[in-house]
Amino acid sequence: MLTHSKITVRPLTEPDFGLLFVWLNEPHLYPFYQQEPVTAEYVEQRYGSRFRSNGPTNSMIAQIDGTPFGYVQWYLNRAYPDYGVATLGEPGGVSFDYYVGSREHLGRHLVSDIFETAFQQLIPKIEAPDRLIFVSHRSDNFRAASCSKRAGFSVERAHVEDGHEKVLLCRDER
């Protein structure tokens, strides 16, 4: 477990599935992160393999003072070439996804601390050429884009993903 400021980031575990189920059904995650309500079975199927295998997606839970409040995941773009190259146009680097799941923690400007803490874990695991960190937000998700910009990300370009206009942001950690 790593710490930056008051935030810790730890690996996702099976006991977290109930929390993910609640968070993924929170109205503030619609329509940007989660498109429709999920079931407990969906959570088990989608996230179970991520900690049982050594797959390419690293899933983590963000906590403040030991209380879980958000989800974080990262993966090398080359691990998902259909996404990294075809969608983002970026064969290298790391894609990073996050959300604040707990309504009580919205608007508290915690995203920068999430990134700093997660980067302490991420950067030593990847080679310098892959230390370009990317986040992608729907163009109409102004709140998430603003959070990413406050965390040091710069707008790279627009792109289309799953029929939605998106903005790609990058942070250079090389």
Q: Could you give the CA distance from residue 95 to residue 30 in angstroms, rounded to a whole number?
A: 21
Q: Is 107 left (phi over 0), alpha (psi -120 to 50) or beta?
A: left
0.95 exceeded by the pTM? Answer: no
- Alpha helix segments (H runs only) across 2-161: 17-24, 40-52, 81, 111-122, 142-150
CA-nearest of 165, 152, 174, 160 to 89 is 160
pLDDT one digit per residue (tens) for the chain, 174 residues: 554 458 999 999 999 999 999 999 999 998 888 889 999 999 999 999 887 777 899 999 999 999 999 999 999 998 988 887 777 787 889 999 999 999 999 888 898 889 889 888 889 989 998 999 999 999 999 999 999 999 999 999 998 888 889 999 999 998
| pLDDT for res 82 | 82
| pLDDT for res 5 | 56
| pLDDT for res 1 | 52
| pLDDT for res 85 | 77
Strand pairing class (94-100; 67-76)? antiparallel
Element (H, E) at 37: none
Domains of the chain: 2-172 (3.40.630.30)
- List, in order, residues 6 or more apart from 147 with CB less than 8 Å away: 109, 111, 112
How far the first Cα of the chain sits from its last, in Å, is 23
